[in-house]
A and B are shown apart, each in its own frame.
Chain A
Amino acid sequence: MIRVEDEGDVRCITIARPDKRNALTTDMLASLGAAFEKTGSMRACVLLGEGPVFCAGFDLHEGAHDERMSALRDQLRGLSRTILAMRSLPCPVVVGAHGAAIAGGCALLGGADLVLADRGARFGYPVVRLGISPAITAPFLRQRVGDGAARAMLLDPGLIDAEGALRIGLVDEVLDSAEQVRHAAVARACALAGKPGVAEAQTRRWCSVLEPVEQAGEALQVSLDAIGRETFERMNREVWSR
């Protein structure tokens, strides 16, 4: 359900589970992480979603009714590993976030250098309603949009639209349709891959040195520690019993 296609020196990774709005399972997150970890001589990566929605977040039905919520914990670990892998790459990462990028799906934007979206796209972290803390994404999101906007997004379970996402810097470019987003994302990745490789790699590395993500582990731990009775009861009521 994670498709990896290398064309020339551009890697195109597609989340392909359109009937479930590309909801991420533990296995998918493992594949996604691996796709960003072993990129060999690739000069750019692009991440897309199949179907109308980029990614609706975790598959919350995985491990349903499990009081220990092991699946959710594994998903959080997989997500953290994936975003770190995206950030650690020498080559740039473009994300085509069409339709919706929700919770874990929105967190993936934290690993990107360039994010494209369509006019109708929605972004946010409604999982706090389920007693899940999106803290895991905070170190990455605040680097992308700043502390103020990150705070307003992570504490508010509401969604923001593409215009709002562009205003705060979560999204870099807004296009008319999902199809245009997919095409343009690949085109931007190809353009980046065409630039002298050492310059791209060193610039990306230097940006990470100047703005390191030192608290990724701490943030993951906050999300893991916040899982408890409140989460179980809300997941049972809002997700598993429906």
Chain B
Amino acid sequence: MTNLAELSVQGAVARLILNRPDQRNALSTDLLAAMHGAVELLEQSRGVTVLVVTGAGKSFCAGMDLRQVLIGDDRATWPGPQLLESLARFTVRLRGLPMVVVASVNGAAIGGGCGLACVADVCVSHADARIGYPEVDLGLCPAVVAPWVIRKVGPGKARRVLLAGGVMTGTEAHALGLVDHLAASVDELAPLTERLVGRLTSGGPTALRATKSLLNALDGSLDEASVLEGARLSAEVLGSPDAQRALSARRT
């Protein structure tokens, strides 16, 4: 079986690759379980100061797996709420890691995928990446990612982005503040990421950990209650006939 979330560690740098390229790295219960497993290892690791999260293939992460968010014939076995809760818990765990987390957004970062980009401490991408929160276009509510978008770009811009739906280019996301450093093209993203990683690993590990820990305290990042509440709200909207109709139409 392929490793859905591929974790490798080289010296002070860990890399986590979402590895479901044929599904544009969409978040399924299996992929999220693998991501939780990787983060668990990182929580116990010593000596890692930087984690880079990226996607295999052309996409970063296309958001929730559409097959799992459709209710189908049997509501009792529908994994929707569990999927959202797993994502919610993952965001807080990722944020709580002691190392600096970089999202290297190599391609489409949609919905929950774009949420992960906002959870990272630093987000790098390229001009042509497609980034955004089209949830409302599909009758969905981006409640899990909302707290992270608000922290990343501020409440005013977050409101605009989350309520307007649609997707934007990497260039637009950079102007908005969602992307911190922008490469001119996809080919230049890897070197840009490596330069950033080089800078980050030059920092004193104790100083970095102390700074990150204070930042998490100041913005209330590790408060799980709001994202779990978001997961419940998001599941409720997802289970509504409106959303299910819009999603079915999208799939066919």
Contacts and interface: CB of A to CB of B under 8 A. Distances in A.
A213 B80 CA distance: 41
Contacts of A149: 177, 180
B200 A222 contact: no
A135 B122 contact: no
Interface stretch (A10-18, A35-43, A110-118, A124-132): A124-132
A148 B152 contact: yes
Interface residues of A, number: 37
Contact of B215 (A132, A150, A158, A231): A150
A167 B215 contact: no
Contacts of B204: 128-132, 230-231, 234
B88 interface: no
Interface string A122-152: 0000011111111100110010001111111
B100 interface: yes
Contact of B180 (A128, A139, A152, A157): A152
Among B154, B200, B205, B206, max chain A CB count under 10 A is at: B206
Among A130, A148, A151, A218, max chain B CB count under 10 A is at: A148
A230 B200 contact: no
B155 to A, nearest CB: 9
Contacts of B122: 151-152, 155-156
Interface string A198-242: 000000000000000001001100110110101100100000000
B175 A167 contact: yes
A16 to B, nearest CB: 30
Task: Give the secondary structure class of B's interface.
Answer: helix
B215 A154 contact: yes
Given A146-B153, A147-B215, A167-B175, A156 B200 contact: yes
A239 to B, nearest CB: 13
Contacts of A157: 199-200, 202-203
B124 to A, nearest CB: 10
A168 interface: yes
B61 interface: no
Nearest to A215: B218
B211 A133 contact: yes
Contact of B203 (A129, A142, A223): A129
A215 B212 CA distance: 15
B167 interface: no
Contact of B196 (A154, A156, A226): A156
A222 B153 contact: no
A130 B211 CA distance: 13
A142 B208 contact: no
A222 B218 contact: no
A147 B152 contact: yes
A115 B150 CA distance: 24
Contacts of B199: 156-158
Contact of A128 (B118, B196, B207, B218): B207
Contacts of A142: 215, 218-219
Contacts of B153: 146, 148
Contacts of A148: 118, 151-154, 177-178, 180
B214 A228 contact: no
A144 B244 CA distance: 42
B42 to A, nearest CB: 16
Interface of A: 127-135, 138-139, 142, 146-152, 154-158, 167-168, 215, 218-219, 222-223, 225-226, 228, 230-231, 234
Given A134-B211, A218-B214, A222-B214, 19 more contacts: A128-B203, A128-B207, A131-B204, A133-B211, A148-B153, A148-B178, A149-B177, A149-B180, A151-B121, A151-B212, A151-B215, A155-B100, A155-B208, A155-B215, A157-B203, A168-B177, A219-B218, A231-B204, A234-B204
